[in-house]
Structure 1
Amino acid sequence: MNSLEVLRREAELLAMSAIGQPPHKGVPACPGLNLGETVRHVGSGYRIALEWIRLGRKPETGEWQEFPADGEDPLDFMRSGAEAVLEELGAHEETEPCATWWPVQQNYGFWRRRLAHETTLHRMDVQGAAGMQVGAVTDEVAIDGVDEVLTLWLGHKLDVLGVRGSRDALVAVRVGDDVWLTRCGPHGASAWRVVDPEDAHLADAQVSAPPMTMYRWLWGRLPDRMVEVIGDHDAIAQLWALLRLATK
Structure 2
Amino acid sequence: MEIPEFVETLGREGRLLAAAAEKAGAEAKVVTCPGWQVRDLLRHTGMVHRWATAFVAEGHTSYHPDGGLPELDGEELLAWFREGHGRLVDTLSAAPPDVECWSFLPAPSPLAFWARRQAHETTVHRVDAESALGGEESAVATDFAVDGIDELLLGFHGRAKSRVRTEEPRVLRVRATDSPDAVWTVRLSADSPAGARGGQGEADCELAGPAARLYLALWNRLPFPSVTGDASLATLWREKSGVT
Normalized against structure 2, the TM-score is what?
Answer: 0.87
Cα distance in 1 for residues equivalent to 2:126 and 2:25 = 15
The answer to whether the 8 A contact 1:51-1:64 is kept is: no
Q: How many residues matched?
A: 236
User: Unpaired segments of 5 or more residues in structure 2?
Assistant: none
* Residue type at the aligned position of 1:3: F
Find out whether 1:211 has 2:211 as its counterpart.
yes
Letter aligned with residue 119 of structure 2: A
Measure, in 1, the Cα distance between the counterparts of 2:23 and 2:234: 40
| Structure 2 Cα separation of the partners of residues 71 and 214 of structure 1 | 33
Q: Aligned partners of 2:99, 2:126: CA distance in 1, in Å?
A: 28
> What's 1:221 paired with?
221
The aligned runs of 1:1-248 (5 Å cut-off) are 1=1, 2-53=5-56, 54=58, 55-60=60-65, 64=67, 66-67=69-70, 73-94=76-97, 96-102=99-105, 106-156=109-159, 159-160=160-161, 164-176=165-177, 177=180, 178-194=182-198, 197=199, 199=200, 201-224=201-224, 227-244=225-242, 247-248=243-244
CA contact (8 A) 2:161 2:192 kept: no
Runs of 4+ in 1 over 6 A off after TM superposition: none
Partner amino acid, structure 1, of 2:22: I
| Inter-CA distance 161–243: structure 2 relative to 1 (3 Å threshold) | closer
> How far apart in 2 are the matches of 1:119 and 1:204?
33
Following TM superposition, by how much is the alpha carbon of 1:117 offset from its aligned partner in structure 2, in angstroms?
A: 0.6
Matching residue's letter, 2:79: D
Equivalent residues of 2:175, 2:183 under 8 A apart? yes
Q: CA deviation at 1:21?
A: 2.7
Question: In 2, distance between residues paired with 1:81 and 1:68?
Answer: 15
One-letter code aligned to 2:88: V
User: Aligned-pair distance for 1:50?
Assistant: 2.1
The sequence identity of aligned pairs, in percent, is 30
Whether contact under 8 Å (1:169, 1:184) holds in the other structure is yes
Distance in 2 of aligned mates of 1:100 and 1:71: 32
TM-fit CA distance, 1:106? 4.8
For the 8 Å contact 1:26–1:34, the answer to whether it is kept is: yes
> Which moves more between the two structures, 121-130 or 90-99?
90-99
